[in-house]
């Protein structure tokens, strides 16, 4: 490694170098240059993190709910007060513009605030006198050590979807963030420590597949939460489940936005641009396909094209609308779909290559890109491109558009734009997708509902945060209790009966 800063792990409440000598570069995507290095954990380092979490678990599990809530309240206040620091970290390592970074943190804060209600959310039920002198009641108890594996595109929000709920419920955590933008996780772990979290309750290990695999098979890890691409989500689910763990594995997407002829096309065009190009399209809830029901496609394409002319692409610290992509390799892969589109007969309306940017020429830039008349057999339509590329598919009717969406292997998010309440109601009933927007392009549920898709967008039964998150990070115990009157006694070997 060079003289650049080195990001270490965070174990047992403090920075931890680990034993592995492997490392990876961390880029500033707006400069196209290595800004830091991050240590990559080996299996021994993962063992150390899990051991720390395992040792901390009994004490944290038995800590009063009042004390646990006090830590979470303090963390919420610290995070809200210092969110600007975290936003700068996100912009420097991911590339997203400052406004988008602050929006990401705000959505994560919602989950922290949801977790503040944990004493109410984990209350059990009580049935008195189910039989003479017999009561039955239920408890919701934590699991133990849980693992979280989070992606590069939301280095603050996705960890915040998971660890506040897990910790508030009494679990301890080992978090493995993306090695592409790892600093946010260390920053949040340090903030949790400042808020009073005991050492070992939240640990961060950085790494690649070696660290992931070590978590998936570790006998002391009770559950795994994951967000990422579909192939990896499937691998995570199959491997962790095979080793007896609970798994919530959220995968990829190809989100469609159906625009009916009666829609407000200005609203639809604004939505398509916002949802397609925010965060440079590196969102699992980005709209990547606009399904235009004729005869509105020409007008809609014109309106989207006009809006793209006004977008300012550049360094996220400079108040631009859209920043760079995460790495050069990813930028080049996304850009390659422009040639694929032409080869497959689509019309390249806006080519994002070679644009003028407000930033260093070496940054990983690709401007907003728009394709029209995309064929549904093209890789442009079929693949999750995960970049600032929006495709227009033209259809002749609502039914044709619905069939197209339902035929997709993905089922993460979708939206319909219409002024017809009957059509909207029919769509929400018939579409085979887990999250649906009606005149809302990115239908991410608020924190007290749960996030997750259908089909190849979710493996396992557990969605993220909300009621599903509470159920995932706790397990129910039913207790049947009888306190005998001192005068009562005797032996009865018959099968117990209600009386």
Question: Over 158-207, what HEC string results?
Answer: HHHHHHHHHHHCCCEEEEECCCCCCHHHHHHHHHHHHCCCCCCCEEECCC
Say if CB 446 and CB 224 are below 8 A apart.
no
Contact at 8 Å (CB) between 174 and 46? Answer: yes
Question: Is 284 considered catalytic here?
Answer: yes
Residue pair 230/410 in contact (Cβ under 8 Å)? The answer is yes
Q: Left, alpha or beta for 32 (phi > 0: left; psi -120 to 50: alpha)?
A: left
The H or E element that residue 360 is part of is: none
Give the number of other Cβ atoms within 10 Å of residue 406's Cβ: 15
Measured between its terminal Cα atoms, the distance across the chain in Å is: 75
Give the whole-angstrom CA distance, residue 343 versus residue 308: 23
Q: Are 394 and 371 within 8 A, CB to CB?
A: no
Active-site residue identified among 92, 174, 265, 284: 284
Please give the full DSSP string across 49-70, using - where no structure is assigned: HHHHHHHHHHHHHTS-HHHHHH
- Report the C-alpha gap between 423 and 396 in whole angstroms: 15
Cα–Cα distance, 275 to 286 (Å, whole number): 5
| Residues sharing a CB contact under 8 Å with residue 308, sequence separation 6 or more, in sequence order | 273, 277, 350, 368, 370
Please tell me the distance from the alpha carbon of residue 453 to that of residue 35, in angstroms, as a whole number.
35
Q: Are strands 347-350 and 369-372 parallel, antiparallel or unpaired?
A: antiparallel
What angle do the packed helices 98-115 and 65-81 form, to 10 degrees? 170
Q: How many helices (H) and strands (E) does the chain have?
A: 16, 23
Of 288, 271, 253, 294, the closest CA to residue 417 belongs to: 271
Q: Which residues are catalytic?
A: 284
């Amino acid at each position: 490694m060079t003289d650049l800063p080195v990001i270490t792990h965070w174990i047992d409440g403090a920075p931890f170098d680990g034993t592995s000598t492997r490392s990876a570069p961390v880029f500033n995507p707006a400069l196209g240059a290595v800004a830091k290095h991050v240590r990559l954990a080996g299996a021994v380092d993962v063992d150390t993190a899990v051991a720390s979490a395992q040792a901390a678990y009994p004490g944290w599990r038995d800590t009063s709910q009042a004390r646990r809530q006090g830590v979470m309240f303090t963390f919420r206040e610290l995070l809200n007060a210092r969110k600007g620091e975290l936003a700068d970290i996100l912009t420097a390592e991911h590339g997203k513009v400052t406004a988008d970074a602050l929006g990401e943190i705000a959505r994560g804060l919602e989950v922290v605030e949801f977790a503040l209600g944990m004493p109410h959310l984990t209350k059990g039920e009580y049935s008195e006198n189910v039989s003479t002198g017999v009561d039955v009641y239920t408890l919701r108890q934590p699991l133990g050590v849980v693992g979280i594996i989070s992606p590069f595109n939301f280095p603050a929000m996705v960890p915040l979807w998971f660890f506040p709920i897990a910790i508030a419920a009494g679990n301890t955590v080992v978090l493995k963030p993306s090695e592409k933008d790892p600093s946010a996780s260390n920053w949040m772990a340090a903030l949790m420590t400042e808020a009073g979290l005991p050492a070992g309750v939240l640990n961060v290990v950085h790494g690649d597949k070696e660290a992931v695999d070590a978590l998936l098979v570790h006998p002391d890890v009770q559950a795994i939460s994951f967000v990422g691409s579909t192939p990896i989500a499937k691998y995570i689910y199959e491997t962790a489940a095979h080793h007896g763990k609970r798994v919530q594995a959220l995968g990829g997407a190809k989100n469609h936005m159906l625009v009916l002829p009666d829609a407000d096309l200005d609203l639809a065009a604004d939505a398509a641009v916002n949802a397609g190009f925010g965060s440079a399209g590196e969102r699992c809830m980005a709209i990547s396909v606009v399904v235009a029901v004729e005869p509105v496609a020409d007008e809609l394409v014109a309106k989207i094209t006009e809006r793209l002319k006004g977008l300012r692409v550049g360094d996220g610290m400079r108040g631009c609308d859209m920043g760079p992509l995460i790495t050069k390799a990813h930028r080049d892969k996304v850009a390659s779909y422009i040639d694929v589109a032409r080869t497959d007969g689509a019309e390249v309306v806006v080519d994002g290559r070679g644009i003028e940017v407000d930033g260093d020429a070496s940054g990983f830039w690709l401007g907003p890109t728009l394709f029209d008349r995309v064929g549904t057999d093209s890789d442009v339509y079929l693949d999750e491109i995960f970049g600032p590329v929006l495709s227009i598919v033209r259809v002749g009717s609502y039914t044709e558009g619905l069939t197209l969406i339902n035929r997709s292997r993905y089922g993460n998010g979708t939206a319909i734009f219409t002024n017809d309440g009957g059509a909207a109601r029919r769509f929400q009933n018939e579409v085979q997708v887990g999250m649906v927007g009606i005149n809302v392009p990115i239908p991410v549920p608020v924190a007290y509902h749960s996030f997750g898709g259908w089909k190849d967008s979710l493996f396992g039964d557990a969605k993220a945060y909300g009621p599903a998150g509470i159920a995932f990070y706790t397990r129910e115990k039913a207790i049947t209790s009888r306190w005998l009157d001192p005068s009562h006694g005797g032996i009865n070997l018959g099968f117990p009966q209600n009386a």
